[in-house]
Amino acid sequence: MRIPIQRALTALGATLFDADAAPEDLRISTDTRSIQRGDTFLALKGERFNGHDYTADAVKLGARLLIIDEADARVHGVAAMLVERTKSAYMTLAGVARDMFAGRVIAITGSAGKTTTKAFLTQLLSAKYADRVIAAPANENNEIGVSKLLLAATNEDHDALVVEMGARQYGDVATLVNVAKPEVGVLTNVGEAHLEVMGSRQRLSDTKWGLFSKGARAVLNAADAVSIARAASLGQPPHWFAACEGAPPARKGRMTALVGRTRVIDRSGDAVTELEVDVGVPGAHNRANAAAAIAGALELDVPLHAMRDVLAALKLPEGRFESFRTEAGWRIIYDAYNANASGTIAALDAFALEKPDRAIAVLGSMAELGDESVKLHERVGAHAAKRVDVLLVGGDYAEALARGAETGGMSSQRIVPVESNARAVEWLREHARKGDVVLLKGSRKYKLEEIVEALAGEVVT
C-alpha cells in the first residue's frame, strides 16, 4: 500500500528533514535486499541487528526517504522522518494501510492450529477471490510480520487479507488487533502454549480473547472449553465450528460442522445446508482446522458449494505431517514445526491411524509450559504409551515423558532416551525396519528437522 506522505506525517507526528527530496507517497521497505527504487526505508532494530546501519546502503539501492529514530543515521540530501521508535512507527503505518484497504480482513489466533487454519482458509477463499487473497507466508505472526502483511496489501491486487496473530506475551493479540482491525476473528482453541511467558491460564485466555477486542465477528471452536465459557460475553452469538463423527453439537449461534471426512453441515437459524465432500487431511485436529477455515470462508461470503473442489485438494503447510519414505522401506512423518501438549496428543492420535507394522515416535520436549511442564510432559508420555510401540524421548523433559509412558503401561524396554538428534538418527538407522513408521514431534527449540536432514540421503519420497 502506498501511503500519502502527509497522511504518514500526521499519523506519526514525525519531523521531516529535506522535505523537498521526499516522495509524494510511501512504499515501506525494511530490508535492503528487496528494496526498490523510490521506496521508503524504515530502519527497524532487533536483538542482533540495527537497520540504521544500512541507511546509506538503502539510499544507494534507490530509497528516497528514510524513517529513523537515530538522527545520525540520516544521509545528506535524502529526505528523512525522525520518529520516537521505528517499530512503533512501522505498526502505526500498517494501521494506516489497513484503514486504506477496501477489501475483507479476517484474523486467526489460537494455541494450536493457527498456521494450518490460515493455509486452509487462504485456499478456500480462492474459490471466490481467486488470486486476490493475500496472507503472510510461514508464521510471520508478530508485530513485524502483521505490519509487513498489511503494508504489502493493495486495493489494485487484493480483495481479501488473512492475518495470523501469535502471542508471546500477555496482551499481544489485542495489540495486533489494534493494527489489523479484522472484521472476522477465528479462534482455533485456547490450550497451554506459552504458559510460562503468560503466567497463568487466565492471562493466556484473556490474551487470546483479545481477538474480539475491536468487535470482530467471532468464529469459535465448539469443543474448546474456554470459548464455550466466554461466548456469552460477546456482543453477538458466535459462528461455531466443529469436527465430529455424528450430529454437530448444539450451540447458540451459527454452526458449521465437518462430519467425518465426507460431509459439511452448515446450520444458521432454521436454514440448514449440507455438502458432500472429500477431505483427506490427516487427523481429527486437522479436520477441526478445516472446519474453522470453512466457517471463516463462509463469513467472507464464499458459497459452501464453491468449496467442494478446494476441500478435496487441501494442502498442509510445510512441517505439518510431512511424509517421507526411506530406501530401507520405513517412513518418517515430520510434524515438528512446533509442539504443545494438546497438539502433540492430536499428532499421536493421527499417527495411530497410519496403522504401521510398528509405530515409533521420537518426541522432543515442549517449551514454554512453565510450572505445568512436568505434568504436561507426563500426560503426553502416558498418551504415547497407548499410541506407539517404541518411544524415543529427548530434550529437557525426557524423564517426564518416559515416566508418563511407564505410568501409561509402556515397558521401560520400549522407551529409549536419546541425548541428541544425532543419537536418534543412529538408533533409527540401527533399529528401524521395513513397514515401520516414525513420528517426529517436538518444539522448535529441539530442531528435530536435523533428523530428517541427517537421513536425507536415504529418503526417496
pLDDT digits (tens, 9 = 90+) for 347-403: 999 999 998 999 999 999 998 888 889 999 999 999 999 999 999 999 999 999 999
Q: Do 123 and 252 sit in the same domain of this protein?
A: yes
Question: Which residue in 390, 388, 385, 453 sits closest to 421, CA to CA?
Answer: 453
The pLDDT of residue 109 is above 70: yes
The string of pLDDT tens digits covering residues 46-82 is 888 999 999 999 999 999 999 999 999 999 999 999 9
Strands (DSSP E) contained in 254-298 are: 254-259, 263-268, 271-276
Q: How many domains does the chain fold into?
A: 3
Rounded Cα distance between 300 and 308, Å, is 16
Q: pLDDT band at residue 193, thresholds of 50, 70 and 90?
A: low
Single out the residue in 84, 116, 141 at which a domain terminates: 84
Is there a domain that residue 317 lies in? no
Cell of 150: 498489511
| Residue 461 scores a pLDDT above 70 | no
In terms of residue numbers, what domain contains 30?
Answer: 3-84
In a domain, 215, yes or no: yes
The chain-wide mean pLDDT, for the chain, equals 94
Query: Could you read off the pLDDT of 202-235 as tens digits, one per residue?
Result: 999 999 999 999 999 999 999 999 999 999 999 9
Give the domain CATH number at 147: 3.40.1190.10
- Same domain assignment for residues 412 and 273: no
Instruction: Say if residue 205 is in the same domain as residue 288.
Output: yes
Helix locations, 130-194, DSSP H? 143-152, 172-180
For 116-137, the DSSP string reads HHHHHHHHHHHHHHTT-EEE-S
Q: Is residue 358 in some structural domain?
A: yes
Three-point CA angle 422, 425, 428, nearest 5°? 155
Looking at the structure, tell me whether residues 306 and 326 fall in a common domain.
no
Is 408 part of any domain?
A: yes
17 DSSP β-pair partners: 80
Q: Give yes or no for residue 143 having a pLDDT over 60.
A: yes
Helix, strand, or coil (residue 201): helix
Residues 367 and 439 grouped into a single domain = yes
Residue 94: inside a domain, yes or no?
A: no
Check: CB of residue 212 under 8 Å from CB of residue 361.
Answer: no
Instruction: Give the CATH number of the domain where residue 330 resides.
Output: 3.90.190.20
The residue written with cell numbers 510431512 in the block is: 322
Same domain, 305 and 349: no
Q: From its phi and psi, is residue 447 left (phi > 0), alpha (psi between -120 and 50) or beta? A: left
| Residue 145 belongs to some domain of the structure | yes
Beta-strand pair 436-441/390-393: unpaired
Note whether 405 and 424 are same-domain residues: yes
What CATH number does the domain containing 68 carry?
3.40.1390.10
> Of 270, 286, 312, which residue constitutes the final position of a domain?
312
Does a structural domain hold residue 95? no
One-letter amino acid of 338? N
User: What's the confidence (pLDDT) of residue 257?
Assistant: 98
pLDDT for position 168:
85
93 falls within a domain:
no
> In this structure, which amino acid lies at residue 122?
T
pLDDT for 460: 55
CA dist 123 and 350 (Å) reads 22
Phi, psi of 66 (to 5 degrees): -115, 140
Beta-strand relationship, 184-187 and 104-109: parallel
Same domain, 110 and 194: yes
In a shared domain, residues 46 and 141: no
Note the pLDDT of residue 149: 98
- One domain for residues 270 and 142: yes
The grid coordinates listed for 413 are: 524396554
Domain boundary among the residues 312, 333, 363 is at: 312
SS3 35: coil
- Cell matching residue 264: 459439511
Does residue 332 carry a pLDDT above 60?
yes
**Are 106 and 34 contained in the same domain?**
no
What pLDDT was estimated at residue 411?
Answer: 97
**CA-CA distances (angstroms) from residue 332 to 128, 335, 384, 414?**
36, 10, 17, 19
Per-residue pLDDT band for 138 (boundaries 50, 70, 90) equals confident
17 shares its domain with 119: no
Would the pLDDT of 309 be above 70?
yes
pLDDT greater than 80 at residue 177: yes
